[in-house]
Amino acid sequence: MLFNRAKFGLLHSTWLVLSLVITGVCGAWYASTWIANGRLPGGGSSVGFACGVFAGLICLFEFALVFKKTWLFRTCRSILGIPLGSARWWMAAHIWLGLLAVPLVMYHTSLHFGGLLSTLLAVAFYIVIASGVLGLVLQNILPKLMTNLVQEETIYSQIDSVGAQLAADAERLVLVFGGQPTTEVHDPAEHDPLAARRARERGLPVVGAARHVGTLVKLSRDPRVPTTAEREGSPELERALQNDVLEFLRTGHGEGGRLGSVSRLKWYFDDLREHVRPEAREVVEQLRALCERRRQLNLQSKIHFWLHCWLSVHLPLSVALVWLLVGHVVGALVYN
Amino acid sequence: MNAPDQPGWESAKQRTRRIALDYYRSWTRLDWAKRGCSALFGLLTAVYVLWTIGGWLVGSEGASKQFSPGPVAGVHQAWNGKCSACHVQFAALRADAEGTRWMLGLFTPQIIAADGTLANPPPAEALGSNRQCLHCHMKNGADHHPLTGSAVELAPQEATCAGCHFDHQGIDADLNRVANEKCTNCHGKLKTYDSTQHNVSAFNVAGHPPFALPATDPGNIKFNHAQHLLPWQMKWEPRAGEPPPSLKMQLVCADCHQFDEAKMRSESGSEFGQVAAGAYSLPIRYEDHCASCHRGDLQVAGGQIPHGLKAAEVREFLAGVVGRESADTAKLSPNQPIPGKKPGDNLAQERDASVQRRLDAILPTLWSPDEEFAPKHEAHCAKCHRFDTPPAAGQMPAVLAANIRSFWFQHAKFDHATHRAVNCADCHPQAEAPPAAATGDIPLDDHLVMIPPLETCVKCHAPGKARDDCAECHRYHAGNWQPHGPGHARRAAGQQDFSDFMRGFPAAGVK
């Protein structure tokens, strides 16, 4: 969910005010109890208990977002006539209630975590909150960064597949220019098992850049077909293709990182451009464009990792948090 | 790459054709990490939580321990994992657990009280908290508080043991260190119940009454602290046939006011229970603290009166001393017959009369309040002692007991050892009173109560300085007056079976 001043809007303002009011009311109640008793209220005191119950219910609501995002409720608008709310409303509630739970938990615990179970619960809670806040910050920064830096953005899971297709395209470019077909023709299906499987199921040959949507279409000449060179090929181009370009396009890594950055990539192809015949320079430019595209996909992969890695902490600990919450409730009621 | 005229340009349609429509069915590494970790964490936590809950249901000590908010105090360590030794399930122990109590009340609106009746709302006793405590800390002895049963009624949650002494604060926690508010709940409004009492709100001049000390020192030893602290005191070293030499010395407070725990207990018996080492001064004893200088004050007629004799014993002792002198003289008489008198009997009568006369001359000097009346270097009891009534002629008055106090506070404790870094005179300035301007004499000060007032204590014991909480000086149950402790009766009455003790309650259940 993106925050900005222009779009903060009524939704977030409402949640912000509501959270501040509840925090203030509970804080005043807590302070008055503290002053009256002369010591920090425990979790079983009126204010501690109320804050604990409220925070517990918030935790359960927060966890409900997991189910809201499943196929069962993703498109469901209401249950038994009760509107479920939009995804935007859910995310706003998730964020603001999660933040509201922090002071409530502090009022409940008075920063004393107690035994092992309740300590685990508190630690899980604070890590979940911290990872959620980190995620919120990252989700507000990185997408803009990605838009600016990665113009060739594609679907994250398809980066390697697209890279393989770019490699096949590069190979074809050099072949068309007059080069020799590689003795070991790259099979893009190796890099996209799903596409290969689906192609084989249909009895189609897998050649060049695999097209696994609809009918396989060959966009260029079959690279397995040896060509009779109408013009003399460029050994420099073929050497660059075999030594650096293909590997970089397929894997995103190259020997010595020669193509790993904008400047290196520029130096590499400027140098190559100086060494090839003038008619091959257009191919060099096209290879450079393919490598630049792959470089951006690499960058997208890194940004995507930071954009979503916090979820690998947030979600698992949220699951643990709910279980620990159950244990804490039982323990608190049995042995208060 | 966005411009169509640039190398490698692709239209949107061309780009989409690079992507499989069912791409979303495959998981990325991040998807695997997120879902895999969720499953793993969820499974591990579920096993842990279900183990703890299951352990509670079957009474497993290790599992139940997971619910513990912290280790219990050292005195309760034997029951650290045995929740049932102190807790009654689904009963809030803590005084401030109103929230939990309300919640439990929703599910158990009718609680069976200890006497079998239904109670709603449940009294603290029925919730079982005190029951478990009092099983060991038996309540058959002194009341929890002198006001128990009076017009002062504590709220049920305050009347529970855990209302003031809640545990699980760590092995080193002192359960007697209750919060001030536990005391001031009642002591802050004592005047409501008894107009002669003082309200106590805090340890300061405004919030705490003056120390309850006697107006004068009830001791019966004539004494002068300042005189004894003057330099060049003369130490008595008797030598045969010679006047005492003048061994000069400087006394300090600790020469007489000595501190030792072990000796204190043996000297004072069990009345005061255990006191910390060095907390109080040992009793002042003539043999330990006076005799080295004042042995000469007990010499009379060439004899040394043993200290501690009663009045009749002093007379008998002196009669023996004086009679021995007469007998020594009479040994010469048989060889020197006196005309008109029988040898022997007449001499004995004469000797008896002589002894009586001598005694009549000596004894009044012993108790005469006028020191000058007593010969120099002769015994003079009245120099230090006071007597109950003016003596009849020829009779020894009874010497009043010294009555030198070691304990001044009946409801508070003090530890000299923790204050040893401070000069004695800073708290007891009266001991160094200057000489009177008119005579230059240093007056007796034994009637003065030299316990410092509250104003002296609050110089250090104040918020932000030395501790100033009630429990720093006061012990509610078992301070210096042991009978206040609820456990006292258990110690005096009967003990438990070992297995019952370790279980926390009898095998047949809590009665």
d(CA A194, CA A200): 10
Residue B102 CA to residue B134 CA, distance in Å, equals 25
**From A109, which residue of chain B is nearest by alpha-carbon distance?**
B69
ipTM: 0.76
Strands (E), A24-153: 78-79, 82-83
Strand partners, A292: none
pLDDT score for B511? 41
Average pLDDT, integer, range B353-382: 68
Number of cross-chain residue pairs from A and B with Cβ atoms under 8 Å apart: 185
Bridge partners, A177 (sequence order): none
B231's torsion region: left (phi>0), alpha (psi -120 to 50) or beta? beta
Which chain B residue's Cα is nearest to A216?
B17
Does the pLDDT value for residue A246 go beyond 70? yes
Confidence of residue B325 (pLDDT cuts 50, 70, 90): low
pTM of the model: 0.65
With CA atoms as reference, the chain B residue closest to A51 would be B99
A315 vs B contacts (CB less than 8 Å): 34, 37-38
Place B49 in a pLDDT band, splitting at 50, 70 and 90: very high
Closest among B439, B420, B422, B442 to B431, alpha carbons compared = B442
Q: Provide the pLDDT confidence category of residue B455 given band limits of 50, 70 and 90.
A: very high
Rank A21-25, B132-136, B151-155 by mean pLDDT and report only the highest: A21-25
Give me the pLDDT at residue B345, please: 55
| pLDDT tens-digit series, residues B479-502 | 444 434 444 444 555 566 677 776
The answer to whether A314 and A132 have CB atoms below 8 angstroms apart is yes
Residues in chain B within 8 Å Cβ distance of A41: 96
The CA distances from residue B294 to A16, B232, B287, B451, in Å, are 85, 15, 10, 27
| Helix (H) / strand (E) containing A170 | helix A159-177
Residue of B nearest to A305 (CA): B30
Q: Which residue of A has its CA nearest to B181?
A: A38
The residue of chain B nearest to residue A173, with distances taken between CA atoms, is: B8
Please tell me the distance in Å from A121's CA to the nearest CA on chain B: 10
Chain A hits for B17, Cβ within 8 Å: 211, 213, 217
- Tell me if A336 and B46 make a contact (CB, 8 A cut-off): no
As a whole number, the mean pLDDT across chain A is 82
Query: 């009746």: which residue's tokens?
Result: B117
pLDDT class of A26 with cuts at 50, 70, 90: very high
Name the residue with tokens 């079982």.
B128
Has residue B139 got a pLDDT over 80? no
Judged by CB atoms within 8 Å, which residues 260-319 of A form the interface with B?
Answer: 282, 285-286, 288-290, 292-293, 304-305, 308-309, 311-313, 315-319
Contacts of A144 (CB under 8 A, 6+ apart): none
What is the model's pLDDT at position B263?
47
Torsion sign over Cα B348, B351, B357, B362: negative
Nearest to B34 among A286, A311, A326 (CB): A311
Q: What is the structure's pLDDT at B447? A: 87
Share of chain A above pLDDT 70, in %: 81
**Token pair of A291 as six digits:** 């490598």
Q: Whole-angstrom Cα distance, residue B413 to residue B434?
A: 30
| Residues above pLDDT 70, as percent of chain B | 66
At residue B281, the 3 state secondary structure works out as strand
Q: Which residue of A114, A211, A332 is in closest CB contact with B70?
A: A114
Closest by alpha carbon to B6, among A194, A293, A319, A307?
Answer: A293
* The pair of three-digit structure tokens given for residue A18, joined into one six-digit string: 């509501």
pLDDT tens digits for range B224-246: 888 888 877 766 555 455 555 55
CA dihedral for B150, B155, B159, B165, sign (positive or negative): negative
A46/A36 Cα distance (integer angstroms) = 13
* Backbone CA torsion sign across A30, A34, A39, A42: negative
In this complex, is the C-beta atom of A32 within 8 Å of any C-beta atom belonging to chain B? no
CB contacts, 8 Å: A289 with chain B:
1, 6-9
What is the rounded distance in angstroms from the CA atom of residue B282 to the CA atom of residue B264?
6
Quote the mean pLDDT of chain B: 73
* A176 sits in which H/E element: helix A159-177
Nearest CA in chain B to A157: B28
Q: What spatial distance separates the first Cα and last Cα of chain B, rounded to whole Å? A: 87
* pLDDT tens sequence across A212-239: 444 344 444 444 444 444 456 788 888 8
Residues in chain B with CB shorter than 8 Å from the CB of A309 are: 30, 33
The set of residues, in sequence order, having a beta carbon less than 8 Å from that of B49 and lying 6+ positions away, is: A117, A323, A324, A326, A327
- Which residue in A213, A323, A334 is closest to B90 by CB distance? A334
Query: What is the per-residue pLDDT for B486?
Result: 44
Among residues B434, B422, B428, the alpha carbon closest in space to that of B230 is found at B434
- Predicted pLDDT of residue A208: 44
A 155-214 → B contacts, CB under 8 A: 155-158, 161-162, 165, 194-195, 198, 209, 211-213
Q: Report pLDDT digits (tens) over B84-123.
A: 788 877 777 776 777 887 777 776 655 445 555 544 444 4
Q: Confidence band (pLDDT; 50, 70, 90) for B374?
A: very low
Question: Are the C-beta atoms of B84 and B90 separated by less than 8 Å?
Answer: no
Q: Name which residue leads in pLDDT, B488 or A158.
A: A158
Give the pLDDT confidence of A165-222 residue by residue, as tens digits: 999 888 888 887 775 555 444 454 455 555 555 555 655 444 444 444 443 444 444 4
Mean pLDDT is lowest, of A297-311, B63-77, B469-483, for B469-483
CB contact under 8 A, A333 and B7: no
Contacts of B427 by beta carbon, 8 Å cutoff, 6+ apart? B419, B452, B456
pLDDT value at B356 more than 90: no
Residue B51 confidence (pLDDT) above 50: yes
User: What's residue A222's pLDDT?
Assistant: 46
Residues B375-396 have a mean pLDDT of: 68
Q: What is the pLDDT averaged over residues B308-317?
A: 81
Segment A13-37 mean pLDDT: 92
Which of the 8 DSSP states describes residue B467? -
Q: What is the predicted pLDDT for the residue at B94?
A: 72
Instruction: Please say if the pLDDT value at position B510 is more than 50.
Output: no
The C-alpha atoms of residue B465 and residue B33 are separated, in whole angstroms, by: 54
Here the tokens at position B86 are 């102190």
Q: Do A320 and B45 touch (CB under 8 A)?
A: yes
Confidence band for B151, pLDDT divided at 50, 70 and 90: very low
Residue pLDDT, tens place only, B248-280: 778 888 888 887 654 444 444 444 444 556 677
Contact A49 B168 (CB under 8 A): no
- For residue B444, the SS3 value is coil
- Separation of alpha carbons A249 and A172, rounded Å: 13
Instruction: Determine the pLDDT at residue A124.
Output: 95
Q: Which of B69, B99, B104 sits opposite A46 (nearest CB)?
A: B99
Give the number of other CB atoms < 10 A from CB of residue B203. 21
Nearest to B7 among A44, A45, A289 (CB): A289
Chain A CB contacts of B100 below 8 Å: 44, 49, 332-333, 336
Rounded (10°) CA dihedral B416, B417, B423, B427: -20
Beta carbons of B93 and A154 less than 8 Å apart: no
Residue to mutate among A308, A328, A336, with most B CBs inside 10 A, is: A336
